[in-house]
Amino acid sequence: MSQDKIKGLQKSKSGIDGLDEITGGGFPKGRPTLICGSAGCGKTLMGIQFLVRGIIDYNEPGVFMSFEESQKDLNQNVHSMGFDLNKMISQKKLRIDHIVIEKSEIEETGEYDLEGLFIRLNHAIDAIGAKRVVLDTIESLFGGLDNASILRSELRRLFQWLKAKGVTAIITGERGESSLTRQGLEEYVSDCVILLDFRVIDQIATRRLRIVKYRGSTHGTNEYPFLIDETGISVLPITSLKLEHKTSSEILSYGFDDLDKLFDKGGFFRGTSVLITGSAGTSKTTLSSYFALSSCRRNESTLYFSFEESPDQLVRNMMSVGINLKPFIKSKKLFIHSSRSSLQGLEMHLLVLHKLIKELKPRTVIIDPISSLVTVGNSSEVRAMLVRLMDILKVNLINALFTSLTHEKGNDYSDLTVDAVSSLADTWIRVSNDEMNNVRKRNLSIVKSRGMGHSNLVWEFTIDNKGIKIKKSA
């Protein structure tokens, strides 16, 4: 276990999406890590996932010492995530030891120690050659006995013992009022402490995670949102903000010639982010659908986030302007994800997006409209989120299109989303409705287009059942 050469801290992959990026590689190998948080914040699940992924992905057997839930309960709880604990137990990859302490049955008569627990743990570890251990929640011991000082010194010994044993351990602890854990476990586990949090802001619940300390390693210091869904826990890190992404000089079409012609190169570069702003009813969604259509025609996977219309509604409405998206949904080229923006916190939307991007590997992502997300977060949050989002898309060289609803008479620049997105977007198209001589005229102009020349005129356009037409003369 001890090595003569001095090496940097070795790390053990956590098996939790995104967490390894924040911790720079995972939990400290061969050392205990404390995960604390209030009830229901996902501590047990994080422990289980650490073990299960360790078994499946890294072939590292694990021991789960449960002080609260029985093996049966645990198995049931995680079954919905597709983890079959019983199978792993029969394969001798996993061991679950449920520790039951009945306070009413126990009498303390003099000095004692936790040697029984040590022996149990040691036996379990040796029986399957475990590399990973989870103790959930060891503080329950304090509830069963009166002599806290014995327990304290024994716990200190336990953590040292775990280190000497060379197992990567997770110890969970319930959040205390003035300290991280009720019994101050953070004093003993000094290598890595992670705090989980579950809070409700403006009636929207978000789970967050923060690395309180990580000795001997650099780590992200922010609070990171995380999500628990049918595949377990995933954490959303901010991907590198170094602006080092690769670029492409491939030119793609916006979906109709008239618009392509307004750009010198006849389209947009692959991996461009496009922003379309305009007030209500200025055909932002129609333009987005062209964008989607063009991507589908290139036979590329396309992801459409709709915060206002259901997939069916969107498809029906687009039929009325001659855009038929149905065959592409059938052929699975186009995936429309509709949800209410207020359904969940901002980060959750981003996480869902992140997951879908990972899953579907789209070449084009459309978010319609991005402004509806503003209602669920405050301005700094929205901005941070948009930066993250753009970053994810840029790094993956995904074409992105965002629409943003602006107010009729206001200045574009005063608008929050426009303000946040415009500097990040590569191309900005503005659409508007202007009333002149009792007629509403639709106008389109290109505000900017990085890397290529573009028309600087305001173009009038019409929409009929065949689609959008831009009038020849401006």
Query: Is residue 73 near other proteins by the rule CB under 8 A?
Result: no
In the structure encoding, which two tokens stand for residue 161, read together?
């013992």
State how far the alpha carbon of 329 is from the alpha carbons of 45, 271, 313, 360, 366, in Å. 35, 23, 13, 13, 15
Supply the minimum distance, in Å, between the C-beta of residue 154 and other proteins.
9
CB of 142 to other proteins, least distance (A): 12
Residue 425 in the binding site for other proteins (CB under 8 A): no
If one asks whether residue 148 binds other proteins (CB under 8 A), the answer comes out as no
The correct pick among 68, 86, 120, 352 for binding other proteins (CB under 8 A) is 120
Verify binding: residue 115, other proteins, rule CB under 8 A.
yes
Helix axes 284-297, 311-319, angle to 10 degrees: 90
> Site size for other proteins, by CB under 8 A?
25
> Which of 9, 81, 99, 474 touches other proteins (CB under 8 A)?
99
Minimum Å gap between C-beta 129 and other proteins is 15
When asked if residue 455 is in the footprint of other proteins (CB under 8 A), the reply is no
Phi, psi of 420 (to 5 degrees): -75, -40
Task: Decide if residue 106 touches other proteins (CB under 8 A).
Answer: yes
Told to check if 149 binds other proteins by CB under 8 A, we report: no
Strands (E), 184-320: 192-201, 204-214, 223-229, 232-235, 251-252, 268-269, 273-278, 302-306
Q: Of 122-130, 197-205, 320-328, 374-382, which part binds other proteins (CB under 8 A)?
A: 122-130
Give least dist CB 97 to other proteins, A: 5
Minimum distance, C-beta of residue 134 to other proteins, in the bound complex (Å) = 16
Residues 6+ apart with CB under 8 A from 70: 98
Q: Provide the CB-side half-sphere exposure for 402 (13 A, CA).
A: 26
Amino acid at site 407: H
Among 97, 308, 309, 412, binds other proteins (CB under 8 A): 97
165 forms part of the interface with other proteins (CB under 8 A): no
CA distance 37 to 272: 41
The C-alpha atoms of residue 318 and residue 285 are separated, in whole angstroms, by 9
Residues 17 and 234 sit within 8 Å (Cβ to Cβ): yes
Cα separation, 415 vs 413, whole angstroms: 5
Q: Which stretch binds other proteins (CB under 8 A): 120-128, 215-223, 431-439, 456-464?
A: 120-128
**To the nearest whole angstrom, how small is the minimum distance from the Cβ of residue 115 to other proteins?**
4
**Which residue is it, tokens 């994810």?**
392
Among 52-60, 104-112, 199-207, 235-243, which window interacts with other proteins (CB under 8 A)?
Answer: 104-112
- 100 touches other proteins by CB under 8 A: yes
Minimum distance between the CB of residue 63 and other proteins, rounded to whole angstroms?
Answer: 11
List all residues 6 or more positions away from 265 whose beta carbon is below 8 Å from its beta carbon. 251, 452
> Whole-number minimum distance, CB 185 to other proteins, in Å?
17
Q: Per CB under 8 A, which region of 115-123, 173-181, 306-314, 465-473 contacts other proteins? A: 115-123
Q: Which is nearer to other proteins, 145 or 463 (CB)?
A: 145
Dig out the tokens for 465 from the structure: 């059942």
DSSP state, 163? H
Stretch that binds other proteins, among 109-117, 241-249, 336-344, 353-361 (CB under 8 A): 109-117
> Which residues does residue 12 pair with via DSSP β-bridges, in sequence order?
27
Of 108, 257, 359, 464, the one binding other proteins by CB under 8 A: 108
Residue 179 touches other proteins, criterion: CB under 8 A: no
Q: Evaluate whether 85 touches 123 at the Cβ level (below 8 Å).
A: no
Contact 287, 429 (CB under 8 A): yes
Residue 71 CB, shortest distance to other proteins, in Å, is 12
Which two three-digit tokens encode residue 138?
């060891």
Tokens of 50: 């650490």
Span 377-396, contacts to other proteins by CB under 8 A? none
**Strand spans (E) along 3-69:** 11-12, 27-28, 32-37, 62-66
- With respect to other proteins, which residue has the nearer C-beta, 67 or 188? 67
Residues that bind other proteins (CB under 8 A): 97, 99-102, 105-117, 119-120, 122-124, 141, 145
